[in-house]
Amino acid sequence: MTDAPLIDIHNATIYRGDTRVFENFSVSIGQHEQAAILGPNGSGKTTLLKVINREIYPVRQDDSWVRILGRETWNVWELRSHIGIVSHDLQMHYRNSTTGLNVVLSGYLSSVGIHGLLSRQITSEQREQAASIMRELGIESLAATPLRKMSTGQQRRCLLGRALVHNPDTLILDEPTAGLDLSASFDYLARIRRQIASGKSIVLVTHLLNEIPPDIQRIILLREGRIVADGPKEEILTEENLEKTYDAGVRIAKVDGYYLAYPAKSA
């Protein structure tokens, strides 16, 4: 196994359509780091994930690269065993008739749902593994349930299962609790913490301070495609840094290893 960084982005200029989201952007995240990328809507978080996931490529230029574990080229299968990306973007691409089991199994095919002949490519070993992951995530009873009959929290857990079928070393989670109620959020965050406890690394992408598990050590603050601050959580999550990042008066409270943000009194 290489000791190269998990993610090494150097001098990347990245467009979404006509919008330049990043210009000469660099960031490096080591293997086994527990990190969170925090920033307001539109700051470029999801774009960054799509670059890591090879859905978007930066502009080709000298002295610029995107390396995963030291390599610039990957096939999708190899990449999945290192990095699993859980984004609810993906959720919207599934037919609402897709069953829980098929969402999880679709991870093996890196596809959205499994249809017709494709399902024959799934081995019985893979089915067993999918069933075991579903048990672990408490969604075994949803195997035959279509997505449209599930709560958002249940759908989200099926997508987590989809990423876990490859047993990736690192999970990258894009706004994992968006749209979940308090109890579903807490349940999901507890499952993520269990993944950390079982040895996985997490890169959490969020705009919410209070969903950063205490296990996360490094914080990268992003605003308009630039890093505002990057380093150990205790140093980075200051009122001053958050005000710069969010352009709002912010106060912070720290409770049981969690950080809570609330509005500063206006002058």
Residues of this chain that interact with Mg ion (CB under 5 A) are 45-46
DSSP 3-state assignment of 166?
coil
CB closer to Mg ion, 134 vs 204: 204
263 binds ligand ADP (CB under 6 A): no
Could you tell me the smallest distance in angstroms from the CB atom of residue 60 to Mg ion?
Answer: 25
Tell me if 87 contacts ligand ADP by CB under 6 A. no
Residue 170 neighbours by CB distance under 10 Å: 24
Instruction: Using the minimum distance from each CB to Mg ion, give the nearer residue, 45 or 162.
Output: 45
Strand 35-38 and strand 218-223: the pairing is parallel
Q: Which does 199 bind (CB under 5 to 8 A by kind): ligand ADP, Mg ion, none?
A: none
CA angle at 170 for the pair 148 and 150, rounded to the nearest 5°: 10
- CB of residue 41 to ligand ADP, shortest distance in Å: 4
Stretch 11-40 residues interacting with ligand ADP (CB under 6 A):
16-17, 19, 21, 39
Q: How many CB atoms lie within 10 A of CB 58?
A: 19
Q: What does the alpha-carbon distance between residue 232 and residue 112 come to, in Å, rounded to a whole number?
A: 37
- 3-state SS of the chain: helix, strand, coil percent to 5? 35, 25, 35
Bin 225: left if φ > 0, else alpha if -120 < ψ < 50, else beta: left
58 binds ligand ADP (CB under 6 A): no
Binding partner of 19, given ligand ADP, Mg ion, none, CB within 5-8 angstroms per partner class: ligand ADP
Which residues of the shown chain bind ligand ADP in the complex (CB under 6 A)?
16-17, 19, 21, 39, 41-47
